[in-house]
Chain A
Amino acid sequence: MLEAILQGVLLGGYYAVLAAGLSLMFGVVRFINLAHGDMAVLGAMLALWLVQVMGLNVPMAIALTLPAMGAIGWLLQRLIFERALRGGFLIPILTTIGLAATLQNGMFAAFGSDTKSLGAHIGSLSWASWHLPGDIFLGKLPVYMFLTALVVLGGLHLILTRTGFGRAVRATASDPEAAALCGIDARRVHRGAAAIAVALAGLAGIFLALRAQVTPFSGPMMLIFAFEAVVIGGIGSLRGTLIGGIALGLAQAMGGMISPQFSILAGHCLFLAILALRMTEAAASERGGWRNTLTAVLFNRSQIKGRLS
């Protein structure tokens, strides 16, 4: 039981990093990036290329990949996303679907279809563990990944709350026009946010390559978990994303204890439950709270306080 909880929490760190970029993009730029999972795979492929072809060690490759991914994010925002956003609600979604297909097949052409893993390049760290009392094993790699997730998300949180850039980001996120009136260049802020988001996706991809393996077509499955963590944690909040990731990891671990078949399903169920809650929340507050809403639904009474006044 305790072991499953620990594993679930550690897994949650990975999900949180995966979801943070998606959440940031949506919260600040109002842009749903359906290519987020494929961006993550791109980050993994870049790091793998640096290790396998250029012969760098893994920390060095990670240190080079993240800024490169940030630059890619900046360029994508500058060249594609900005234009797509001007085309209304549907165009950005179509654009990122196209981008996802391009990335998948582009990576297939550039790197081939072989499965690859960074785990093979970190020696025994990929399977080393601490044996704790109570016959509990904690893998070293999952623990390091969880700590990295805490540091990265915590650092980002500090940037958003303590720096001028963070203020600009928050201002743009809550009211772009008012922010612009105060002299904030929203486009610059958006590009910065996109750079951070894509760098985060790259980090998540590297995590995946460390703990599992990647192929050019691994992206879409990552996107599903990222979306679930974002929805569970609440869009646009880093702390929420961390909690959402951990909740998803915990749900999967606890579900797996009931039956192995229930593992992923439990995550989906939690996601649907939270989604339903969020969707009815607005309707409930419009009707003057949960009690009134339940009364109205259960007893079919139509008097609604909030609306008549």
Chain B
Amino acid sequence: MKLLSEAAISRRRFTMLGGAALAAPFVATRALGQEAAVFRIGYIGPQSGPLGIFGAHDGWLIEQLRANLAGGIEVGGKHMQVEIITADTQSDPVRASQITRDMINSAAPDLILTHSAPETVNPVSDACEAGATPCLSTVAPWEAYYFGRGGQPGTQSFKWTYHFSFGTGNFLNLYSGQWSLLDTNRRVGTLIPSDADGNAIRAGLLPRMAEAGWEIIDPGPYENMTQDFTTHINAFRSAEVDIVVCFPFPPDFPVFWRQAAQRGLAQRMKIMQMAKAGLFAAEMEALGNLGHGLCTGVYWHPAFPFSSAAAGLSNADLGANYEAATGRQWAQALGASASLFDAALALAAQSGDPKDKELMAATLPKLVADTAVGKVDFTAGPVPNCTVSGLAGGQWNMVSGERFPFQLDLVSNADFPEIELTADFRPLAFG
């Protein structure tokens, strides 16, 4: 009896042991992270789910980054290893928030990077703001990021979270510049759904386009997943528009465009300008002949005359190496993801000590970085926490005899005068 009671663990002792056991992993990772001088970057994006296409290149890119950064970096006279940890949002905003909190609590990253669509960057950024972890994000209109998270212009709304991407101003610049290259009747039909992006575009962009001298024919907002676009097509046909601009939920676009071709609208139009849809070659391949000549905004292209320091490659090599290694065609998301890491390394260097989160947060508003998508300069605005990256004008052209059936040509460069165009802008021609 006596022996037993000595060997048995008392309730108080059990609680102490259990508490220590639970706390040990956290204490250990934090302690280790401090000693080994590792700059730990958390990379959170959609790798599966409906937005998964934006993360399709992640496997290759992360490998390339790890290989290039294997020797570590020099920061403030100190040598540091770089560690990249990744997490998949599964395209779900709730899960995005959850895994960000988990990552902050369990791995204590010094910086979190996130990308692609407000459904990803907003919840991840909110979780970083709450968890006092610096965060950089890209590829979501900055208005959707800033106003969607309750940002107030004129004030420092967020301390930890910063975003660089295109915005409605880019679209105005791009469209006015590119459409003026062709001789049209300047009548523009708009296909804009009643969702968050659509409402922002309708309120922000259309009035400014009208001011710029384009006659806007807007049949009104529609619901995503609409299966029949008769109303829009008839309105465009009777107004004899030469140009249609759309911001659809991507699966809706082929439905609209095939119906437009069935009713003879597509055959008499000159420009079909897409945003949100049309970013990926796979979408064009799904359209077949109907994809030839469609236009889209381009936020990264292998022909952009920049390079990615983090990947150790010029943009041209980034695209070519990706295609050679994976057998898949390059996509804009590849360069955008690389640019996040370029900005991250620049931030580490400019802060002097990436392990000091307060210092990192204080450096973010002053960050100026050369990245794969061009110069990112947070001192430039338009609001605190956000800066605008550029958009070039792209046109999908069918090519024969090449490895991939569609190629994205650069046909206008309103935002980047230094970009060399790869083809002339041509009006739609089929039927």
Contact = CB atoms under 8 A, between A and B. Distances in A.
Interface of A: 3-4, 7-8, 11, 14, 105, 108, 112-117, 119-121, 123-124, 126-129, 131, 137-142, 211-215, 217-218, 221, 225, 249, 252-253, 256-257, 259-261, 263-265
B266 A127 contact: yes
A218 B48 CA distance: 14
Interface string B341-363: 00000000000000000000000
B53 interface: yes
Contact of B258 (A8, A114, A127): A127
A105 to B, nearest CB: 7
Contacts of B225: 221, 264
Interface stretch (B103-111, B117-125, B277-285): B277-285
B263 A260 contact: no
Residue of A8, A117, A131 contacting most chain B CB atoms (<10 Å): A117
A238 B234 CA distance: 34
Interface in B218-245: 219-223, 225-228, 230-232, 234
Residue of A3, A116, A256, A265 contacting most chain B CB atoms (<10 Å): A256
Contacts of A218: 251
A256 B235 CA distance: 12
Given A112-B56, A129-B263, A260 B251 contact: no
Residue of B91, B280, B290 contacting most chain A CB atoms (<10 Å): B290
A260 B283 contact: no
Given A8-B228, A115-B250, A129 B286 contact: no
A264 B230 CA distance: 13
Given A213-B254, A260-B226, A263-B226, A119 B264 contact: no
A115 B258 contact: no
A215 B264 CA distance: 28
A217 to B, nearest CB: 5
Given A140-B262, A215-B50, A217-B91, 6 more contacts: A113-B50, A114-B280, A116-B286, A119-B288, A212-B252, A252-B226
B286 A253 contact: no
Nearest to B223: A264
B260 to A, nearest CB: 8
Contact of A131 (B53, B264, B286, B288): B264
A120 B287 contact: yes
B230 A253 contact: yes
Residue of B56, B258, B266, B283 contacting most chain A CB atoms (<10 Å): B258
Nearest to A256: B231
A38 B375 CA distance: 44
CB-CB nearest 7 A-B residue pairs: A120-B288, A127-B261, A117-B286, A139-B262, A114-B282, A113-B52, A260-B222
A120 to B, nearest CB: 3
A218 B283 CA distance: 15
B356 to A, nearest CB: 38
Given A121-B288, A124-B289, A264-B223, A256 B254 contact: no
Given A114-B280, A120-B285, A126-B288, A257 B227 contact: no
A113 B254 contact: no
A139 B227 contact: no
B230 A256 contact: yes
B286 A139 contact: no
21 contacts: A3-B230, A4-B231, A113-B48, A114-B53, A115-B251, A115-B280, A117-B254, A117-B288, A124-B289, A129-B263, A137-B262, A142-B262, A212-B251, A212-B254, A213-B286, A253-B228, A256-B222, A256-B226, A260-B226, A261-B194, A263-B226
Contacts of A141: 258, 262
B59 to A, nearest CB: 12
Contacts of B219: 260
Contact of A217 (B50, B221, B255, B286): B50
A213 B251 contact: yes
Given A3-B230, A256-B231, A128 B289 contact: no
A291 B251 CA distance: 47
Given A3-B234, A114-B282, A260 B287 contact: no
A256 B221 CA distance: 11
Contact of A256 (B228, B262, B286): B228
Contacts of A124: 289
A265 B56 CA distance: 34
B49 interface: yes
A164 B124 CA distance: 60
Contact of B220 (A129, A139, A252, A261): A261
Contact of A137 (B227, B232, B263): B263
A213 B254 CA distance: 7
A11 B258 contact: no
B290 A126 contact: yes
Contact of B227 (A114, A115, A116, A252): A252
Contacts of B221: 260-261
B64 to A, nearest CB: 20
Contacts of B264: 129, 131, 137
B48 A105 contact: yes
Contacts of A3: 230, 234
A252 to B, nearest CB: 6
Contacts of A14: 227
A120 B290 CA distance: 8
B259 interface: yes
A128 B56 CA distance: 34
A185 to B, nearest CB: 40
Contacts of B258: 119, 126-127, 139, 141, 211-212
Contacts of A115: 53, 250-251, 280, 282-283, 286
Contact of A119 (B52, B222, B254): B254
Nearest to A120: B288
Contact of A113 (B53, B251, B255): B53
A114 B329 CA distance: 12
A112 B53 CA distance: 8
Contacts of B234: 3
A211 B258 CA distance: 8
Contacts of A4: 228, 230-231
A230 to B, nearest CB: 17
